Amino acid sequence: MAQEEELKLYGLWASPLCMTVEVALKLKGVNYEYIQEDFANKSEDLLRHNPMHRKVPVLVHKGKPLAETLIIAQYIDATWEEPPLLPEDPYERAMVCFWVDFLYSKLLPVSRTIFLSEGEKREKAIEEMAELIRRMSKELSDRVPLPNDKGLGLLDIAMGTSYFWLRALGEIAGVELVSEEKAPFMYSSLVKLESHAVAKEVLPERGTLVEHALSVREKMRASIAF
Ligand SMILES: N[C@@H](CCC(=O)N[C@@H](CS)C(=O)NCC(=O)O)C(=O)O
């Protein structure tokens, strides 16, 4: 069976999590089929493959589904070895996973609240985001250098795509959520990501992302009680 028939990514091009998986797959040079999901009308296949979270990204390899971005990224790195996305050293590897998990389980859920809610709820989420970014940036600047200096790794990809999304979300919400000053590590990760050829294939044009996110928001607000 051709490789592309064996590998399917269920995603949404505007999602920073899906961008991370796509960049990882492209860096590894593997072919895959991309199935665009509609958040207001998720496909039967997506719900079947990810019944616990019902979210994208979902990667299906030889008929076997994987959900959760960090788990998918680790699977990709273990399955296609070159170039490595995670450091070899167990502690460095754990630290990369720690920060990627922080982004995906703590930071981005707050961005979802900013994106979908209004009024006091949104204001509180904006404050929470500012505090999380402040703490994260302090912690990252105090740490021993993280292994993001050797080639494009998972940490750069996850930090860079998250920054990319938070900058667009800031435009939508009319507030600066991230900047080079507020989130220097994330910012330098985006610069590194954007200087790589693969980024041009995956990162959308900024204005298109904002426009698309606004139309998705209307559909999501109509389809979920938030
Ligand atoms: N913890 C999950 C989060 C996945 C997630 O939140 N995906 C969003 C797109 S960025 C989604 O599918 N949203 C649709 C929805 O909330 O219904 C991961 O790391 O993959």
| Distance from Cα 147 to the centre of ligand 1, integer Å | 26
- Is residue 84 included in any domain, yes or no? no
- For ligand 1, atom 6, the nearest C-alpha belongs to 55
Pocket lining for ligand 1, CB < 6 angstroms:
15, 17, 39, 55-57, 68-69, 104
Q: What is the pLDDT of residue 156?
A: 93
Cα–Cα distance, 128 to 145 (Å, whole number): 26
What does the pLDDT read at residue 215?
87
**pLDDT at residue 147 greater than cutoff 60:** no
Q: For a pocket test of ligand 1, which of 17, 166, 226 has the largest count of ligand atoms closer than 8 A to its C-beta?
A: 17
Instruction: Look up the domain containing 60 and give its range.
Output: 3-79
User: What tens digit of pLDDT does each residue of 65-86 get?
Assistant: 999 999 999 999 999 989 999 9
Return mean pLDDT, the chain: 91
**How far does residue 185's CA lie from ligand 1's centre (Å)?**
23
Q: How many angstroms is it from 105 CA to the middle of ligand 1? A: 10
Q: Total structural domains in the chain? A: 2
Residue 143 pLDDT grade (very low, low, confident, very high; cuts 50, 70, 90) = low
- Write out pLDDT tens, residues 158-187: 999 999 999 999 999 999 999 999 999 999
One domain for residues 64 and 148? no
Give the integer Cα–Cα distance in Å for 107 and 187: 15
pLDDT category at 225 given cuts 50, 70, 90 is: low
Does pLDDT of 112 surpass 60? yes
23 in Cβ contact with 153 (< 8 Å) = no
Q: How far is the CA of 62 from the centre of ligand 1 (A)?
A: 23
Tell whether 116 and 59 lie within a shared domain. Answer: no
The per-residue pLDDT for 226 is: 56
- Sequence-ordered alpha helix ranges (H) in 143-182: 154-173
Residue whose Cα lies nearest atom 1 of ligand 1: it is 68
Q: What is the pLDDT of residue 146?
A: 56
Residue with CA at minimum distance from ligand 1 atom 11: 55
Q: pLDDT-derived band of residue 145, with 50, 70 and 90 as boundaries?
A: low
Q: Same domain, yes or no, for 50 and 112?
A: no
Residue 58 pLDDT > 90: yes
User: Looking at ligand 1, which atom is closest to the CA of residue 104?
Assistant: 19
Highest mean pLDDT among 1-10, 68-77, 201-210: 68-77
* 116: Cα separation from own chain's centroid: 18
Q: Are residues 137 and 217 in the same domain?
A: yes
Clarify whether residues 186 and 132 are in a common domain.
yes
Report the percentage of the chain scoring pLDDT > 70.
Answer: 92
Q: Which pLDDT score is estimated for 220?
A: 78
CA distance 113 to 135: 19
Instruction: Output the domain CATH number for residue 63.
Output: 3.40.30.10
